[in-house]
Amino acid sequence: MFERHTIDTPYPVGPVHLYVFKRRGGLALFDTGPPTKESFEYLQKNIDLNRLKYVLVTHSHADHSGGIQFLARNSNADIFIPKKDILKDRMFDSIAPHFEDVFVELGFPKETVSYMFSVLLRFRKDSPVPENVKSVEESVLPQGVEFVPFPGHSISDFVYIVDKRYALSGDFLLNGIFQTPLIEIDTQTMKPFNNYEAYCNSISNIDKISKLIILPSHLHIDSVMETVAFYVEKMLKRSEFVLNCLKQSCSVFDTVSKLTDPFSDPFKAYLKASEIVFFKSFVDNPELLKKSLEKIGLYKRFERLLNRFI
């Protein structure tokens, strides 16, 4: 069995769930909570850090991995992180100019891009990756724990399967929330990661977890397929707005400016730009989503909406 712990976050997504399983020799904690004083106090009070042997991170966003530095200092646990997230941290300075180039190409003024990147730099400083973390892919994981890549929301996004019964889904599955697929630089190519293509490939593999008990990072999941259907419906409906903007030859920056003021809140502009690039990738290649939905049996449900783009 497992324990579920819920910790408040300062982010729009709201509270995050962490899960503790008993493993041979100690406890395994999945995700860490955000880098806040309140979160650290909760971990100290509610989890036996003396018995903590493993920490496994689904992906390196602050609400999921913000406590790794705290846990590295206050426990003897082995910390496992997706390899791409480790590389992203280690190569941060190399990535910076490519990130800025991407947003300039999207039409963003350089001063907005610089501030936008400074927000990401602050997140990194709030939750730095310890030197001695282990790559999930290159390590022996705790007894009964497997991982399956489900990228899309981010470049990494692992689902951990425990005892062939539970699937800890991170942000791949969120109930009633459209998780923004963030623009990131692929450290291998130094080009923007294709979130849309990755997401379509991920939902094509949904059968690997659809019959397991889902332990989500936020809220509660009643149905895997209904959760995917919610996300796809939001994608299709929001893509109509992007399609209309493209017909008017609007840049991504122009489109973002219709939704928010990129100068007063550059981080929100980053989130909106990430969504718009995701939707634009769909508009450019709707057949990819169609094939994925056909594979998992959801195509007929969205045939009418999809036909607007095909």
Query: Who contacts 98 (Cβ-Cβ below 8 Å, separation ≥6)?
Result: 185, 190, 191
Q: What angle do CA 1, 23, 161 make, to 5 degrees?
A: 65
Query: Among 74-88, 89-103, 117-131, which range has the highest average pLDDT?
Result: 74-88
For residue range 142-170, list pLDDT tens digits in order.
999 999 999 999 999 999 999 999 999 99
Q: Token pair of 15, please?
A: 């509270």
Ranges of each domain in the chain: 2-306
Average pLDDT over every residue of 87-91 = 92
Closest CA relative to residue 71, chosen from 101, 96, 47, 88: 47
Maximum distance among all alpha carbons in the chain? 61
CATH architecture of 2-306: 4-Layer Sandwich (3.60)
For residue range 12-68, list pLDDT tens digits in order.
889 999 999 999 889 999 999 999 999 999 999 999 999 999 999 999 999 999 999
- Tracing tokens 């003021």 back to the chain, one arrives at 261
For residue range 187-228, list pLDDT tens digits in order.
999 999 999 999 999 999 999 999 999 999 999 999 999 999
